[in-house]
Structure 1
Amino acid sequence: SLTYGTEAVIPAEIGMPTYRTAAIDVVNNDDELRLNLDLLEERRELAAVSEAKSKSKMMKYYNARVRGVAFKPGDFVYRINDASHAVAEALGNGAYKLRSTEGTALPKTWNVTNLKRCYL
């Protein structure tokens, strides 16, 4: 089946007439192709609705199993590929200011995705 549901005709059928190629009514075939093109927009809308429903179902499944991570000031955390640090301040939306274990404040703000809890 080709684009818009049309059937392919192989070269052997072109040279030697078969029932499928001989029984085609060209005028009726053109009308049917136009009708298929008119219905194409409806099929696209149905596909978009189906896609939105599928995405919603996947999002619901993911959100039911995801665990939120929140740190409080004073908690020890690991930065990715670095030593442990303490949380100095929770800024909200997963953003944290850190300080080293010696007490010096780190200049950048860190997101929760770059931090792991350190159990000391």
Structure 2
Amino acid sequence: MPKTSHGETPFSLTYGTEAMISAEIGLPIDQMRRTEVENEEDLRINLNLAEERMELAARKEIEYKKKVEKYYNARVREIKFRLGDLVLKENEASRQEDQGKLGPKWEGPYQIIWAGDKGSYKLAYPTGGRRCQGPGISCN
């Protein structure tokens, strides 16, 4: 199957030609009507163009990824916290013992005592107890 990002099949990028399934061998198509010499010549031409096709596919994939990133970024909502805000922290990283699927998913509340520029925070219990650093990092 051709990949959505660049429209090529992995087989065609690797071998320079499209694969034929066994059901196609009995059908009267152009590839089956040619002689062995003509097929060999076509394969050599396709192999010479394979690198060009790979470069084109790589460029198309980069364009596709930019398009997907733009789509995602248009819909994502960034949340910035300020010093003193009370937040809950995901319980998965600091869970001392497995509480099963019905256990709490969040712990806290924590108070933000420091905010970094790229979304990192230092947390403390509002009463001044233990501190945590960053999202998903266990407390000391």
> What TM-score does the superposition give when structure 1 sets the normalisation length?
0.69
Aligned to 2:53: 43
Going by fraction, where is helix more abundant, 1 or 2? 1
1:110 aligns with 2:120: no
Change (3 A) 1:21 1:76: closer
Structure 1, unmatched stretches of 5+, are 115-120
Q: Deviations over 1:61-80 (max 9, x none)?
A: 11111111111111110112
Q: How does 1:42-81 map to 2 (within 5 A)?
A: 42-80=52-90, 81=106
Going by fraction, where is strand more abundant, 1 or 2? 1
> What TM-score does the superposition give when structure 2 sets the normalisation length?
0.61
Q: Alignment partner for residue 24 of structure 1, among 34, 37, 51? A: 34
Aligned identity (percent) is 34
Amino acid paired to 1:66: V
CA distance in 1, matches of 2:33, 2:71: 51
Shift of 1:91: 2.6
CA distance in 1, matches of 2:124, 2:87: 10
Q: How does 1:85-96 map to 2 (within 5 A)?
A: 85-96=110-121
Change (3 A) 1:35 1:100: same
The RMSD of aligned alpha carbons is 3.0
* DSSP-derived class of the 2:59 partner: helix
Larger Cα-atom Rg:
1
Amino acid paired to 1:89: W
Shift of 1:92: 2.5
Change (3 A) 1:61 1:38: same
Structure 2, unmatched stretches of 5+, are 1-11, 91-105
CA distance in 2, matches of 1:9, 1:76: 64
